């Protein structure tokens, strides 16, 4: 069953250029039954949001900046979030902001049993990221162009803003595979992906230029991929294993 989600957007903190892709991303996780964006709509700087809000049925919430240097938008979002929580109309929240001021809100919502998704720019402070069940960087939501060359991996990894796999990333992925692997070292990729997300809410294969986890791991020589038929023979199940050479190297350290 889909989650009913309340989508609360910090209009002072998020660029309008990503809204279409952002709403498509949110739809993957649930039904956005409440969609609100907060800001001082008397400020000409927010004028470019007007048509975007109409196209995406997002309700603008007016919040005047009563005191210079204080973010009244944050307070309004937090108050509304708690009102929505106690209304019982949703079972999940999506907080769209790059502001660490929402860390406590995300924590409180999760304590109440809510699923919490965060969306923000890569500059988002880590405390807010780890307070969410899942955190998506808004920069990766732009659809990649179809590669014209056969080497899609090189095309993907050369894009601006795409991160490179580091030794720390490799250790993190390998440890996670170990955590859910069977006696032969094989781990079901679905379990690996779920645990990666629980350990590190902002882990996303798109950060590295790949749309899915399978092609990301297939591109890394340290790992071996195997596809198996399920018991009914209806679909292929993907399993991953740390190659023996790399495993023995890790054990010696």
Q: What is the mean pLDDT of residues 189-205?
A: 95
Residue 65 lies in a domain: yes
Interval 217-241: pLDDT, tens: 999 999 999 998 877 766 789 999 9
User: What is the rounded end-to-end Cα distance, in angstroms, of the chain?
Assistant: 45
Give the CATH number for residue 116.
Answer: 3.40.50.1010
Q: Among the three residues 113, 141, 169, which one is the final residue of a domain in this structure? A: 141
State mean pLDDT over 39-53: 82
Structure tokens at 134: 């899942």
Question: What average pLDDT does range 56-75 have in this prediction?
Answer: 74
CA distance 26 to 158: 27
Grade residue 58 by pLDDT with cuts at 50, 70 and 90: very high
Residues 216 and 129 both lie in one domain: no
pLDDT computed for residue 151 by the predictor: 40
Predicted local confidence at residue 89, as pLDDT = 93
**Does residue 42 belong to any structural domain of this protein?**
yes
DSSP conformational letter for 138? G
Instruction: Tell me: pLDDT of 245 over 70.
Output: no
Same-domain check for residues 131 and 10: yes
d(CA 56, CA 90): 19
Please, which residues have CB within 8 angstroms of residue 147's CB and are 6 or more apart in sequence?
Answer: 155, 156
Choose one of 96, 119, 141: the last residue of a domain: 141
* Structural domain contains residue 147: no
Q: Are residues 195 and 225 in the same domain?
A: yes
| Model-wide pTM > 0.85 | no
Q: Looking at the 3D structure of the chain, how many domains does it have?
A: 2
Q: Exposure pattern of 167-202 as b/e (b: 16+ CB <10 Å)?
A: eebbeebbebbeebbeeebbbbbebbbebbbeebbb
């Amino acid at each position: 069953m889909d989650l009913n989600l309340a989508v609360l957007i910090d209009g002072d903190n998020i660029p309008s250029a990503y809204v279409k892709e952002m709403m498509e991303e949110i739809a993957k996780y649930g039904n956005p039954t409440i969609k609100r964006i907060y800001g001082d709509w008397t400020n000409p700087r927010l004028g470019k949001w007007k048509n975007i809000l109409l196209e995406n049925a997002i309700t603008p919430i007016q919040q005047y900046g009563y005191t210079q240097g204080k973010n009244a938008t944050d307070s309004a979002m937090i108050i509304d979030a708690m009102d929505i929580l106690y209304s019982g109309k949703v079972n999940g929240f999506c907080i769209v902001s790059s502001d660490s001021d929402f860390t406590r809100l995300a924590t409180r919502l999760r304590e109440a049993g809510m699923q919490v998704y965060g969306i923000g720019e890569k500059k988002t402070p880590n405390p807010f990221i780890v307070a969410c069940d899942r955190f998506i960087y808004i920069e990766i939501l732009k659809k990649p162009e179809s590669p014209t060359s056969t080497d899609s991996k090189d095309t993907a990894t050369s894009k601006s803003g795409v991160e490179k796999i580091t030794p720390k990333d490799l250790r993190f992925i390998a440890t996670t595979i170990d955590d859910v692997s069977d006696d032969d070292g094989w781990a079901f990729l679905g379990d690996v992906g779920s645990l990666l997300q629980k350990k590190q809410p902002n882990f996303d294969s798109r950060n590295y230029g790949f749309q899915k986890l399978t092609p990301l791991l297939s591109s890394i020589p340290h790992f071996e991929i195997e596809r198996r038929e399920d018991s009914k023979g209806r679909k292929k199940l993907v399993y991953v294993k740390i190659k023996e050479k790399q495993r023995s190297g890790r054990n010696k350290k």
